[in-house]
Structure 1
Amino acid sequence: MSIGFGIFLFVVGAVLAFALNIQVDWIDLDLVGYLLMGAGVVITIIGIALLLRRRTTRTVANTTVDPASGSQTTRRETSAPDSPDVV
């Protein structure tokens, strides 16, 4: 979602900076457009970094043998970095 929002801000900023030729006395639309384009780039980069970090996973496998019955139990769990650690 943050990547799409960053692209949206960049596009709106580009429209304000390059496509509109409106003069407003109380605000400089070119400056606002450049600021929105910069914010869009920063948000897109942060979104990509968070997306890459989220894809890292960790797999834990535990194997136990019950001495009384001789049965073997295997438990496998996969967790992402933002979920609690698996013990």
Structure 2
Amino acid sequence: MGLGGCILLMAAGAILAFATDWHMPGVNVHLVGVILMLVGLIGVAAFSGIARRRRVVVPPPTTVVEDERHHRHHHGGDGYSDGYGV
């Protein structure tokens, strides 16, 4: 369940707990609303904890210093004249 589902549970629970006057035999609608709000709150806390751990910290860019000896061509007769055999 995502963050939206948790918020939806909290909203439905608040409606049942505070904005209704239904009386169903064997069911305490206000208690069901409070339970839904608590489950939604626990879900939001769990979701935010997981999302906090998943954040990727990108290190600052580093400066690349190229070494000149890798760019010089070796002109020997050994077949590595393109610089890969240095």
Whether TM exceeds 0.5 here: the answer is yes
For 1:14, give the aligned amino acid.
A
Q: Deviations over 1:44-78 (max 9, x none)?
A: 0111111111113577xxxxxxxx8558xxxxxxx
Query: What TM-score comes out, normalization by structure 1 length?
Result: 0.63
- Counterparts of 1:34 and 1:52 in 2: how far apart (Å)? 27
* Residue identity in the other structure for 1:47: F
Q: Which runs of 5+ in 1 are unaligned?
A: 60-67, 72-87
**Runs (4+) of structure 1 moved beyond 4 Å?**
68-71
Which runs of 5 or more residues in structure 2 are unaligned?
60-79
Question: Over residues 23-63 of structure 1, what are the superposed CA-to-partner deviations in whole Å (9 max), with x where a residue is unaligned?
Answer: 1112000000000000000000111111111113577xxxx
The number of equivalent residue pairs is 65
1:14-33 aligned within 5 A? 14-33=14-33
Percent identity of equivalent pairs: 30
* 1:34-53 correspondence runs (5 A): 34-53=34-53
Return the index of the structure with the highest Cα Rg.
2
Q: TM-score, normalised by structure 2?
A: 0.64
